[in-house]
Chains A and B, each alone.
Chain A
Amino acid sequence: MFADITQAESAEFAEYLRQAQSRLYGHIHSLVRDLNDTDDLFQQTTLILWKKFAEFDRQRNFFAWACGVARLEVANFLRARGRQRLYFSDDLNLLLIEAQSEMTDRELEDRRAALAKCVEKLRQRDRQLLNECYGEDHGVNQAAHRRGRAPQSVYNSLRRIRRALYECIARTIAQESRPGWLS
């Protein structure tokens, strides 16, 4: 019987986590901006969430709770690496969790779908640059090296491409949300 309770609990936890994991991962990444570090912190955070799951008030928003736990983990992590001065204030952290919670799963999905379409519309060489910069550690420096360009100039290109993608996503979503879907 005990085993059943734990199993049910772990299934419930898995369900909560599955619904929140994508946004939680994105949130942590927006704070530490390194994928490897994000993986570590995401893992650490989920371990703590699971250990504390019995205390979780089911009336509360799981995502907000998870972000609160992640916030402390991120702060400790950055302090250990001497990077806390490059970290946001507590006030802003709380405001960002709030802002993050306001983005619905639907919007998140729509943005990703739009991003996929927008990436396809990029010029081949821009797509190539994105892949290099995002695909490897120190990708920007390597991409600059390969092209005989200064890293700053690659950063400028990246900035242009990213902003174009952002605008494209906004346009795509605006076009697709025709009236009639909301019933």
Chain B
Amino acid sequence: MNERDKLSDRLRDLIDDYLDGRLDEAQTQELDALLCADAGARHYLIRFARLHTDLYLESRAQQAGARALERLAQQDMESRAYESTNGKFIDSSNSMPADGPFASRSRFQTSRVIAIAACLALAIGTGWWLVSGRPASGDRSRHEPTIAWLVNAQNCQWLEAEPAGDMQAGRTLKLQRGLAEIRFLCGARVVLAGPASLELLSGKSARLKHGRLTARVPGPANGFEIVSPQGKVIDLGTEFGVDVSDNGTTSVFVFEGKVEAHSASAGEVSSVGMSLTSNQAAQIVAGKVERRPVGAVGGANQFVRAIVPPPAIVPRVFRLTFNNSIDGTINDTTGKGTGLMHRLPGTGSRLRAHDPNLRLDTAKGQLELTTTRSDIRNQVRLWQGEYLGVRLSDLGFTGEEDFAVTATIPNTPALEDYGQFGLYAGTWSDRNIRGGLIKWGRQDPGQNTQFMVNNNGGPDTDLYKVGLLSPGTTLRLTLKRIGGEYSLTVENRTDGGASTLTIRNPEFLSGEPDLYVGLFGANPYSDVRKTLIIKEFSVTVWTLSTSAKRSD
């Protein structure tokens, strides 16, 4: 079958352009009609789009991997003490190079976290690629019927080769530590807790040589058997736990339903079994099955009944590229929605609904912000202050999460007389931290300096400023809070290089759930207004996933 013969060139071109995001409305409709009319075309689109997705994932993963390795190497060279972190997930594209002129002030702890995160991203993003890219482990898996699947694994360390997803009879799983969940052909599910050794006998039976497991058998699948050195346990529709100690002593505990426990001597399994029902326990030892008080075999608590995913940290991202007007957001001077939804409380209260200082250029994909004469340092004229942005709680922020705000600003203006722009985080005009570029002093206009400063109660405090940056460069600014500590990274996209600033941490913002972040621009002491171009703006909050929250 050759799809090329059947599909028109036009259709294939449209699909290519569709994937590259280059179709206009009329072409989208044309493609829609062609796809609706032809199942073969849909078949092709699904597979061609999959190729496109896989290429993306693989390339991103490769880059993340390369960055991670680079950082690890750098880390080793610095031979810094390893500071343990809780492995918070960071978007590696927001990473801050530590090789700028101010490397000594950058946060090595953060780069460690980034490396871990990148490895994580790599593992998540490419697990299938690495696995399926390798040749299949022998042809055995292709010929012998699969009787069980490894469906979940947590912190597992295997004594021999790690089992592949599907497994055949005769296979022995030697788990040193961790939890592994195995699904049998008959539908039974076993959670094996390491250290343990389990031999797969058939689609409805397994031999527990030592260690502990819990088996859950759905209704119609009863008859599932766990064989032990001392006998066997036959399920009659239930959930039960089995523990085999090093000397072979077998303990059984029934959570729900009914099982039959049989003893064995000299390899002969006794035909008479003992029935056990909910919350009953027994021991099989020395050729006999004996009822035991629940406490004597450790009770229900010793068995792990399900693998619960550990809390996962998930980045939630808000991103604007200014290609579209977005209704219901702060309007520019012509009434187009900028996409930004909030202002730092205490600022911009008397700006018009169609803000004369903002202009959204959707063709160029940029927002232009003209600074105003607001003066946050003295809390003056803040009614016209341009402090635009996002409320973090809209992204699931509750007070403790890590977050970052990033903006790309091409062709930076020559600032004059304390003119300034940059990024902020805070709860009010007099409770915030901000940083970016400032012209410090009245002389030498255009000598832009990087700065970072706190404001707690009106006056600016803890000011730190450093370096000179020529006007006309492209900068990417990132203000982030990781593990409670703020930093500002200024990346010079025109000639490479980056620096990261930190100042005394604004404790007054710690744990504050209602934070706003965004960008600002001001010409506090002169009438010289400057226009900033903002190319991309994004905010990320690293939240705990809900399934983790639900499970505790």
Is there an interface contact between A131 and B59, defined as CB atoms closer than 8 Å?
Answer: yes
Is there an interface contact between A103 and B47, defined as CB atoms closer than 8 Å?
Answer: yes
Tell me which residues across on chain A come within 8 A of B52, comparing CB atoms: 29-30, 33, 162
If A7-B305, A82-B325, A116-B133 touch, whether A30 touches B55 (CB-CB below 8 Å) is no
Is there an interface contact between B307 and A33, defined as CB atoms closer than 8 Å?
Answer: no
Tell me which residues across on chain B come within 8 A of A10, comparing CB atoms: 306, 308-309, 547, 550-551
Contacts of B19-57 to chain A: CB distance below 8 A: 19-25, 28, 32, 35-36, 39, 42-43, 45-57
Contact of A162 among B28, B46, B51 (CB under 8 A): B51
If A47-B546, A134-B60 touch, whether A22 touches B128 (CB-CB below 8 Å) is yes
Total number of A residues with any Cβ neighbor in B under 8 Å: 70
Nearest opposing residue in chain A for B93, CB measure: A137
Distance of A108 Cα from B18 Cα, bound (Å): 22
Contacts of A126-142 to chain B: CB distance below 8 A: 130-131, 133-136, 140
Q: Which of B311-319, B478-486, B505-513 contacts A (4 or more CB under 8 A)?
A: B311-319
Is there an interface contact between A95 and B326, defined as CB atoms closer than 8 Å?
Answer: no
Nearest opposing residue in chain B for A87, CB measure: B28
CB distance from A4 to the nearest CB of B (A): 7
Is there an interface contact between B59 and A99, defined as CB atoms closer than 8 Å?
Answer: no
Tell me which residues across on chain A come within 8 A of B42, comparing CB atoms: 95-96, 99
Contacts of A111-125 to chain B: CB distance below 8 A: 111-113, 115-117, 119
Contacts of B231-249 to chain A: CB distance below 8 A: none
Please classify the interface of chain A as helix (H, G, I), strand (E, B), loop, or mixed, using the class held by over half of its residues.
helix
Tell me which residues across on chain A come within 8 A of B58, comparing CB atoms: 119, 134
Is there an interface contact between B305 and A4, defined as CB atoms closer than 8 Å?
Answer: yes
Is there an interface contact between A29 and B56, defined as CB atoms closer than 8 Å?
Answer: yes
Tell me which residues across on chain B come within 8 A of A85, comparing CB atoms: 25, 28
Tell me which residues across on chain B come within 8 A of A155, comparing CB atoms: 20, 22
Is there an interface contact between B46 and A135, defined as CB atoms closer than 8 Å?
Answer: no
Distance of A159 Cα from B16 Cα, bound (Å): 7
Tell me which residues across on chain A come within 8 A of B43, comparing CB atoms: 99, 102
Tell me which residues across on chain B come within 8 A of A113, comparing CB atoms: 132-133
Indicate whether B142 reaches chain A with its CB closer than 8 angstroms: yes
CB distance from A109 to the nearest CB of B (A): 5
CB distance from B529 to the nearest CB of A (A): 30
Tell me which residues across on chain A come within 8 A of B18, comparing CB atoms: 33
Is there an interface contact between B308 and A134, defined as CB atoms closer than 8 Å?
Answer: no
Contact of A26 among B50, B59, B550 (CB under 8 A): B50
Is there an interface contact between A135 and B60, defined as CB atoms closer than 8 Å?
Answer: yes
Tell me which residues across on chain B come within 8 A of A145, comparing CB atoms: none
**How many residue pairs at the A-B interface have CB separations less than 8 Å?**
173
Indicate whether B63 reaches chain A with its CB closer than 8 angstroms: yes
Is there an interface contact between B152 and A11, defined as CB atoms closer than 8 Å?
Answer: yes
Contact of A25 among B12, B53, B181, B546 (CB under 8 A): B53
CB distance from B150 to the nearest CB of A (A): 12
Is there an interface contact between B50 and A111, defined as CB atoms closer than 8 Å?
Answer: yes
Indicate whether B129 reaches chain A with its CB closer than 8 angstroms: yes
Is there an interface contact between B308 and A7, defined as CB atoms closer than 8 Å?
Answer: yes
Is there an interface contact between A135 and B63, defined as CB atoms closer than 8 Å?
Answer: yes
Indicate whether B3 reaches chain A with its CB closer than 8 angstroms: yes
Tell me which residues across on chain A come within 8 A of B19, comparing CB atoms: 30, 33
Nearest opposing residue in chain A for B22, CB measure: A155
Is there an interface contact between B28 and A88, defined as CB atoms closer than 8 Å?
Answer: yes
Tell me which residues across on chain B come within 8 A of A22, comparing CB atoms: 128
0/1 string, B288-322, CB within 8 A of A gives 1: 00000000000000000111110000111101000
Distance of A16 Cα from B315 Cα, bound (Å): 22
Indicate whether B151 reaches chain A with its CB closer than 8 angstroms: yes
Tell me which residues across on chain A come within 8 A of B13, comparing CB atoms: 159
Indicate whether B62 reaches chain A with its CB closer than 8 angstroms: yes
Contact of A40 among B47, B49, B317, B551 (CB under 8 A): B317
CB distance from A30 to the nearest CB of B (A): 4
Distance of A137 Cα from B366 Cα, bound (Å): 16
Is there an interface contact between A39 and B317, defined as CB atoms closer than 8 Å?
Answer: yes
Tell me which residues across on chain A come within 8 A of B151, comparing CB atoms: 15, 18
Indicate whether B324 reaches chain A with its CB closer than 8 angstroms: yes
Is there an interface contact between A112 and B129, defined as CB atoms closer than 8 Å?
Answer: yes
A-B contact pairs, 26 of them (CB 8 A): A7-B305, A10-B306, A11-B309, A26-B53, A26-B54, A29-B56, A30-B19, A30-B50, A30-B53, A33-B21, A50-B547, A50-B550, A82-B324, A82-B327, A86-B24, A86-B25, A96-B35, A102-B43, A112-B128, A117-B133, A130-B59, A131-B63, A134-B60, A158-B20, A162-B52, A165-B55
Give the 9 A-B CB pairs with smallest separation, nearest first: A30-B49, A134-B59, A116-B133, A135-B59, A11-B306, A82-B324, A99-B42, A113-B132, A29-B53
8 further interface pairs, Cβ-Cβ under 8 Å (given A86-B23, A131-B59): A30-B19, A30-B46, A39-B315, A119-B58, A130-B55, A134-B56, A166-B47, A181-B142
Binding site for A on B (CB under 8 A): 3-4, 12-13, 16, 18-25, 28, 32, 35-36, 39, 42-43, 45-60, 62-63, 128-129, 132-133, 142-143, 151-152, 181, 305-309, 314-317, 319, 324-327, 546-547, 550-551
